Structure 1
Amino acid sequence: MSETNCMTTGKASRLSATNRAILIAAFVLLVAAIGYAIWRDSAPAADQASEGGAAPGDQLAALEARVQREPESADAWTALGGARFDLGDFAGAAAAYEKAVALSPESAGLWSALGEARVMASERDPMPAAASKAFDKAIALDAKDPRARYFLAVRKDIGGDHRGAIEDWFALLADTPQGAPWEADLRRTIEQVGAIHKIDVAARLAATQARPLTADEMPVAARAIPGPSRAEMEAASRLPKGQQDAMIQGMVDGLEAKLKANPADVDRWIMLMRSRMTLGETAKAAQALKDGIAANPAAAGRLKAQAQLLGVPGA
């Protein structure tokens, strides 16, 4: 989203030095926590290597090719929609999500993603009728869908019910788990709309806290696991960029290899999603969520909760 677009999935971007160091340190943390060796020297399969190092345009081409091969796969169309959205092709994203919802019409997350893409693709109308309809469909399927709730409040604001919109945003904030990707933007939206329409929200915002995380939502790295040390962070940041990138790629490849050997390790699936999101590889993060749930259907709730906190598309 823009200033009022707080549910937008994470845009793919160049990995900053800080994020690179954090990602490396996160792997160090995971090694210490669950005691497995990182496969730095393991060679990835040829297709994984080429895909991992592909430019955004090449990754998009691969996803375009995938939907040609799998035209009846909602997951393939969802991944393509997320990739197009990340690249700013909102009309293209909407077209892909339309294919996805046609194949998977009971997914609230897909309907709200479609609605958001339609909003972003509209040059004049801030809430096109087709987008509004998609959000209504999402909320009918899942009354708690945060993106649909946000945009339906936007619809109220556009329609002149500014106080009603603010009330709905406060209700969403009350249901927002601590640390959710949209929490800060949601607070900023409430503050900005209140200022524009002379509605005092400062005291209420100050008194409103995001709800505590449930056990399933608690980040894996926060479960009685010490954080990465300053020395680990500094050691990661001192490596030349090329070595950092090679290390990260080797870590992610090793993590995926471990998951192929033991797909029942739910914590590693969450770590893979987090790694992909940190790298800006949102489509791959969404695929990791799908694969993790397929391998661990009993842990679907936990995996989805973690994915929502990470901002994984379709979660």
Structure 2
Amino acid sequence: MEPAKQKSRTGLILLVFAGLILVAAVSWAAFRGADSEKNTASPAASPLPGQPANLATIEERTRAEPGNPDAWLALGQAQFDAGRFAEAARAYERGTAFAGGRADIWSALGEARVMASADSPMPAAALADFRKAAAIDPKDPRARYFLAVARDLAGDHRGAIGDWFALLQDTPPGAPWEQDLRRTIEQVGKINTIEVAERLAAVKQPAPHPLVPGGSTATAPIPGPNAEQMRTAAALPPHEQDAMVQNMVAGLEAKLQANPGNVDGWIMLMRSRMTLGESARASAALKAAVAANPGDTARLRAEAAALGVR
């Protein structure tokens, strides 16, 4: 794996792990006061949440939960990482049958079709998938990226670069696709003699919102697992890392449903969703957080704005 991609995966694992620790800390602190001798271990020392799943395990999940779009999404991701693009496309297509209103599955399907194509850099079916994703969520980063690719292939190089810059301006620093996006802008600019270096240096990505008092959970440095846990995570194959992250995010969401009063936890969930490129699900998390914590609406919306959540 390229060092930049490994770094972005590691950062994502750190981010979601931090969210789980943050949510778990509330209940852990309550028990610590009652029995300090039995609760001396920090939650940060616990094993990584979410057991890494191999491809066979993920396939078994789709058989056990054939109507669960997340199961098909996980299978598609695993097959995609294994280079089985046509199979990934079939898995994503099954997912759209159960969650046709989710932009992330449509854009993933389009990407798999692009990679599976032997004769076209942008198959018509893939372009249709990206357009569906963008119609559902105009901020879906994968759809925006590939729609700009289609524009570049059609000969509108400046228009494509403009679209990629707009995506970069909405991209949280450290998002998994950030470095690839920057390289794409540089390469297309170089090939077509379009100056982009100054614009890349000047681009402004999402920053802390001025309404957030006393620092921002949305932009704060990320705590995380210890070195041994991170070595374990980094040693996993890419598809198992992806499955682990998905399990961790699902675990974080489940904990918040059980403890909806944890405002910082909701912010970390939004941050995780945006880092994964799931802007619609980040917006859903914001709505759930506001509904559960109406007294913290101003802070939640300010932190969401810092993340680019609408």
Kindly indicate whether the alpha-carbon contact (under 8 Å) linking 2:77 and 2:239 is maintained by their aligned counterparts in 1.
Answer: no
Which of these residues, 123, 128, 133, is aligned with residue 133 of structure 1?
Answer: 128
* Alignment pair present for 1:207 and 2:202: yes
Kindly indicate whether the alpha-carbon contact (under 8 Å) linking 1:277 and 1:285 is maintained by their aligned counterparts in 2.
Answer: no
Which residue identity is paired with 2:222?
Answer: A
Which of these residues, 31, 36, 41, is aligned with residue 37 of structure 1?
Answer: 41
The match for 2:187 is 192
Which residue identity is paired with 2:57?
Answer: A
Kindly indicate whether the alpha-carbon contact (under 8 Å) linking 2:141 and 2:277 is maintained by their aligned counterparts in 1.
Answer: no
Kindly indicate whether the alpha-carbon contact (under 8 Å) linking 1:60 and 1:84 is maintained by their aligned counterparts in 2.
Answer: yes
Which residue identity is paired with 1:221?
Answer: I
Counterpart of 1:281 in 2: which secondary structure? helix
Flag the 1:37–1:220 CA change in 2: closer, same or farther, 3 A: farther
Flag the 1:167–1:61 CA change in 2: closer, same or farther, 3 A: same
* Alignment pair present for 1:92 and 2:64: no
In 2, Cα distance between equivalents of 1:278 and 1:60 = 11
What's the CA shift string for 1:172-201, capped at 9, x where partnerless? 111111222222221111111011111111
The match for 1:308 is 274
What's the CA shift string for 1:179-235, capped at 9, x where partnerless? 22222221111111011111111221222132215646325626xxxx99xxx9xxx
Instruction: Report the CA distance between 1:304 and its aligned residue.
Output: 3.8
What's the CA shift string for 1:3-58, capped at 9, x where partnerless? xxx9xxx68xxx9xxx7xx97xx99xx79xx68725899899xxx8xx64x7xxxx
Instruction: Report the CA distance between 1:280 and its aligned residue.
Output: 4.9
Kindly indicate whether the alpha-carbon contact (under 8 Å) linking 1:276 and 1:282 is maintained by their aligned counterparts in 2.
Answer: no
The match for 2:36 is none
Kindly indicate whether the alpha-carbon contact (under 8 Å) linking 1:177 and 1:213 is maintained by their aligned counterparts in 2.
Answer: no
Number of aligned residue pairs = 247
Which residue identity is paired with 2:269?
Answer: L
In 2, Cα distance between equivalents of 1:79 and 1:213 = 32
Kindly indicate whether the alpha-carbon contact (under 8 Å) linking 1:178 and 1:213 is maintained by their aligned counterparts in 2.
Answer: no
Flag the 1:115–1:40 CA change in 2: closer, same or farther, 3 A: closer
Identity of aligned residues (%): 47
Q: TM-score if structure 1 supplies the norm length?
A: 0.64
**For 1:50-129, what aligned pairs fall within 5 Å after superposition?**
52=52, 59-129=54-124
In 2, Cα distance between equivalents of 1:213 and 1:276 = 33
Counterpart of 1:187 in 2: which secondary structure? helix
* Alignment pair present for 1:218 and 2:219: yes
The match for 2:212 is none
Counterpart of 2:194 in 1: which secondary structure? coil
Counterpart of 1:218 in 2: which secondary structure? coil
The match for 1:166 is 161
The match for 1:292 is 252
**For 1:204-283, what aligned pairs fall within 5 Å after superposition?**
204-212=199-207, 215=216, 217-218=218-219, 221=222, 244=228, 280-283=240-243
Kindly indicate whether the alpha-carbon contact (under 8 Å) linking 1:60 and 1:80 is maintained by their aligned counterparts in 2.
Answer: yes
In structure 1, runs of 5+ residues without a counterpart are: 237-243, 253-273
Kindly indicate whether the alpha-carbon contact (under 8 Å) linking 2:249 and 2:272 is maintained by their aligned counterparts in 1.
Answer: no
Q: TM-score if structure 2 supplies the norm length?
A: 0.65
